[in-house]
Amino acid sequence: MNSATSQASNAPFWMKYIGLPFRLGADPKDGEAADCIRLVLRVLEEAGLNPPHVERKWYALLAHHNLEAIREDWFSLTEQTAKPEEYAMTVLPSASEFSIGVVVSDGLLSVRNETGVLWMPLQNLPPLNYRRLKK
């Protein structure tokens, strides 16, 4: 095994999603595209957590631009954390779209319409509110 192969095999599981383009409803598991809801739930599932199932109503609410109802529903499934922690989630600030990200390896993994999936170090982000799945 060469050193590049060795490094790739030691890479965190979520790195395979970086660079995928945004597509509403896409599951990153397919390796073609991702949306924020499915990306976060897939990462939580692959980390061995028990995330909620994707709700069809979330996509209906998105289609009607009812972002507040989506936030309320998402918040009902989660609880506030005092600080960022591994696999905590955050709703990214935006007046025009709903976007969530998940904390992995001291950074935030998220997907946006214009950028696709990317990872940003937490230290480069503004203060955000983080939430974890309710136990």
> What are the structural domains, with CATH classification, of the chain?
3-133 (3.90.1720)
pLDDT at residue 65 is higher than 50 = yes
- Convert the pLDDT of each residue in 9-36 to its tens digit: 688 999 999 999 999 889 999 999 999 9
Give the model's pLDDT for residue 30. Answer: 94
Cβ pair 40, 53 in contact under 8 A: no
Dihedral pair phi/psi, residue 71, rounded to 5°: -60, -45
Both tokens of 76, joined, read 């009902």
**Tokens 């939580």 sit at which residue?**
44
Cβ pair 102, 88 in contact under 8 A: yes
Average pLDDT over residues 53-59: 79
pLDDT band at 4 (very low <50, low <70, confident <90, very high): very low
What residues pair up with 22 in beta bridges, in sequence order?
Answer: 34
